[in-house]
Amino acid sequence: MRKKVVLITGGSSGLGKYIAESLATKGYRVFAGMRSKKKILLLSKQWRNKSVQPIQLNITSDKDCFDAVEKIVKKEGGIDVLVNNAGYALVGSFENHTSQDFQDILNVNTVGSFRMIKAVFPFMKKRKDGKIINITSLNGVLALPSFAMYCSSKFALEALGLSLKHEVAKYNIHITNLAPGAIQSPDHSQKKEMPHKPAREKFLILKILMPFLTYKKITEKIISIINNSNPPVEVIMGADSLITTSLQRVLPRSVWDKMVSYVWSK
């Protein structure tokens, strides 16, 4: 039986690397996109006997995106799953950032995913089969202070997936936006410097009510999406995501705004 071929962006470290290695152990043929040639050399040795291969991929380059996809298709015959994982956060007051900062984060978090979808689409369309998973964020469905540019990039990615779903469905291509809440890396290396005291540190009860997501849980959800013949267009993960999005839906806007202001100013 042919192994399903998965291409994941941002595969050199963190969540992307974990997903790539985990999918390889589950029987998938994985290509992990990354910019750094040094990382490619290092991981080529590390993954020599595994079903995962690093590949040169800078998602801010149209050429890199199309070249990487063509290389994989030529070698494997096609790509079954694209996981748009690459991205970064930009936090802090908007007045401390430039318009170039804003353009840069959009270019990676949103346009980069668009480039990748454009690159794989002709091959998935021809085969009339494929899955595209956009890893968005709680910040793609909920706008919070100090995250204006990051939220904007992830909101745009959410909208892209929700819109394109209808355009590609006739070719049996499925798009899913996976929106996780706060994630804790296994070695705690992904902790971000915040311009404010995190809500979990201000209100200790939130540590109990809203535990961090793990790489393992997110990977398990990705596998379930891949194996689902008709996956949902949007998956919200994490107690923090589920609680806050539910509150925003049911509370009057004025109450919600006061609550957010209280948490972020306290």
Active site residues: 150
Is there a contact between 166 and 207 (Cβ–Cβ < 8 Å)?
Answer: no
Is there a contact between 115 and 65 (Cβ–Cβ < 8 Å)?
Answer: yes
Instruction: Kindly provide the b/e burial profile for residues 124-153, where b requires at least 16 CB atoms within 10 angstroms of the residue's own CB.
Output: beeeeebbbbbbbbbbbbbebbbbbbbbbb
Instruction: Kindly provide the b/e burial profile for residues 7-37, where b requires at least 16 CB atoms within 10 angstroms of the residue's own CB.
Output: bbbbbbbbbbbbbbbbbbebebbbbbbbbee
Residue 8 CA to residue 19 CA, distance in Å, equals 8
- Residue from 132, 115, 135 nearest 168 by CA: 132
